[in-house]
Copies of this chain bind each other. A is one copy, B any other.
Amino acid sequence: MATITPRTLSGFMELLPGPQQQMERFLQTLRDTYALYGFTPLDTPLVESAEILLAKGGGETEKQIYRFQKGDADLALRFDLTVPLAKYVAMHAGELAFPFRRFQIGKVYRGERAQRGRFREFYQADIDIIGDGKLDIANEAEIPAVIYSTFTRLGLERFQIRVNNRKILNGFYSMLGLSEQSGAIMRTVDKLDKIGPEKVRALLVEEASLTEEQADEILRFIAIRGTNAEVLEALKAYQGKNELFDAGLEELGTVVKYLAAFGVPETHFAVDLTIARGLDYYTGTVYETLMLDHPEIGSICSGGRYDNLAAYYTDRQLPGVGISIGVTRLFYVLQEQGMLNGALNTAPADVLVLPMTQDLTAAAEAATYFRSRGIRTQLYTEQKKFKAKLGYADKLGIPFVAFLGEDEIAAEKISLKNMKTGAQELLSLEAAADTVLAVMEDRNNGKLIKA
């Protein structure tokens, strides 16, 4: 009878129930943390007019986008959450209060070449703060706090937020008379971690046409290391030569200054002059976040300051600052690295009520009572052997089984079995619910990522 082999498209993540519970916890942690910082949730369509999504145009985007006709309409699936935000703010500017702080967690689509660990449908989790005409630097200082809280609440400990300022870079290149080449230089410097300083120097001379002196000057600059205070101090040597540089240095100083007040420890934050971020539209502070034990994964949360969010849709100047987490890829990596905390409950229910009588009235009442106490409860209804029933709870990892046979019903009690310890007790419904709630509070108390 079956005529079609069921399959899921390559590059589209589809999880089994256990991992899906972990993903839900991931998403819920993001929602809760973003909300704690006063960001409001948005939800925009996954399908937009192709003209809207491609307003900016550009090679890769255009190649990767899922675009299609429906009737006369030229449509496409969104490939990020920034373009829909730009559209939204341009459309509703009159109804929003600025600074407008929104988060959005949603799927986006890119028809990339299929590859292990690369996804064509994936969740992004973005926050942005949009100003109307102006946006104070203090907003940029607050962003590291959101990043720090997010990953700490997820359970990650060994990570570092790295920050730079594009004005410092552009100002510095301008001092050297290299404004024209700044794009090429940044792309080359970006390879530092991969190819090392010697090769970067060679490329700067050969490909970006810099003099040996200019290349040395750049290498000296990006070699500036140390505590945040030390780096800022070293940068002062360049002060007073270029306005843009000076403005960038002051901004960076402000970001560093408020770190402690925003609760970000020095251990998790570093000024890093090698960070530029590829995207053209960043104009000030830029952020990357590295897992210290897995630098090969690259940045797990990036973003920065931009001067004009929605130039294609409105003449209103809308500066902003934002960051994005590629949730699906990060989840995949955490899974692959065995970093997800298996001690957390991923079962669909906290209690499985197992009726041992034909009539289910007492069992249904018990399930109803547990649910009224906020306990996730399943009533097992199938006519199976006792062993098969217990095996079901076991396979799903349900922590408690509540047996209801004639003896229990007569005594107005239930037999509650803790599937982990094997302990079984005859208890009143109320006492059983208390027991379950206490154990489950403990079981749900951990964090998603193993420290």
> Which of A207-215, A374-382, A410-418 lies at the binding interface?
A374-382
CA distance A7 to B86 in the complex (A): 11
A382–B136 CB distance below 8 A: yes
Once the chains are docked, how many angstroms separate the CA of A38 from the CA of B21?
A: 12
In the complex, A142 has a CB within 8 A of chain B:
yes
**Counting CB contacts under 8 A, is A14 at the interface?**
yes
Cβ-closest chain B residue relative to A95: B16
What is the CB-to-nearest-CB distance from A160 to chain B, in angstroms, rounded to a whole number? 20
User: A73 with B377: in contact, given A3-B312, A348-B39, A382-B99 (CB under 8 Å)?
Assistant: no
Is A395 in contact with B97, judged by CB distance below 8 angstroms?
yes
Interface membership of A441, Cβ < 8 A: no
> Which residues of chain B have C-beta atoms less than 8 A from A348's C-beta?
35, 38-40, 101
Looking at the complex, which of A42-50, A220-228, A286-294 is the stretch in contact with chain B? A42-50
Tell me, yes or no, whether A41 is within 8 Å of chain B by CB: yes
A396 contacts B by Cβ under 8 Å: yes
Question: In the assembly, what is the distance between CA of A364 and CA of B140, in Å?
Answer: 13
Which of A234-242, A258-266, A273-281, A422-430 lines the interface with chain B? A258-266
Given A142-B379, A381-B138, are A4 and B38 also a contact pair (CB < 8 Å)? no
Question: B43, B47, B52, B368: which contacts A109 (Cβ < 8 A)?
Answer: B47
Q: Are B4's CB and A52's CB within 8 A?
A: yes
Per the bound structure, the CA–CA distance linking A23 and B41 in Å amounts to 10
Chain B residues, Cβ within 8 Å of A438: none
Q: Are A261 and B2 in contact (CB under 8 A)?
A: no
Size of the chain A interface, CB-CB below 8 angstroms: 107
Which stretch from A63-71, A195-203, A443-451 is at the chain B interface?
A63-71
Chain B residues near A71 (CB-CB < 8 A): 111
Q: Across the interface, do B364 and A142 meet the contact criterion of CB distance under 8 Å? A: yes
Docked pose: A253 CA to B70 CA in angstroms: 48
A360 contacts B by Cβ under 8 Å: yes
Copies of this protein, total: 2
Task: Say yes or no for A130: interface residue by CB 8 A criterion.
Answer: no
CB distance from A6 to the nearest CB of B (A): 4
Q: Is the CB of B97 within 8 A of A381?
A: no
- A21 near B40 (CB under 8 angstroms)? yes
A377 and B139 in contact (CB under 8 A), knowing A6-B91, A92-B16? Answer: no
A87: interface (CB < 8 Å): yes
- The verdict on A36 contacting chain B, using a C-beta distance below 8 Å, is yes
In the complex, A349 has a CB within 8 A of chain B: yes
Give the residues in chain B near A367, CB-CB below 8 Å.
262
| Residue pair A2, B315 in contact (C-beta under 8 Å) | yes
A114 to chain B, nearest CB (A): 10
Determine whether the beta carbon of B8 is less than 8 Å from that of A48.
yes
A313 B121 Cβ-Cβ under 8 A: no
A40 and B109 alpha carbons, distance in the complex (Å): 26
A310 on interface, CB distance cutoff 8 Å: yes
What are 5 A-B contacts defined by CB distance under 8 Å? A2-B90, A9-B75, A36-B374, A38-B379, A261-B365
Residues of A within 8 A of B (CB): 1-9, 12-17, 20-21, 23-24, 35-49, 51-52, 55, 66-71, 73, 75, 77, 86-88, 90-92, 95-97, 99, 101-102, 107, 109, 111, 121, 131, 134-136, 138-139, 141-142, 145, 149, 257-258, 261-263, 310-315, 348-349, 352, 360-362, 364-365, 367-368, 371-372, 374-379, 381-383, 392, 395-396
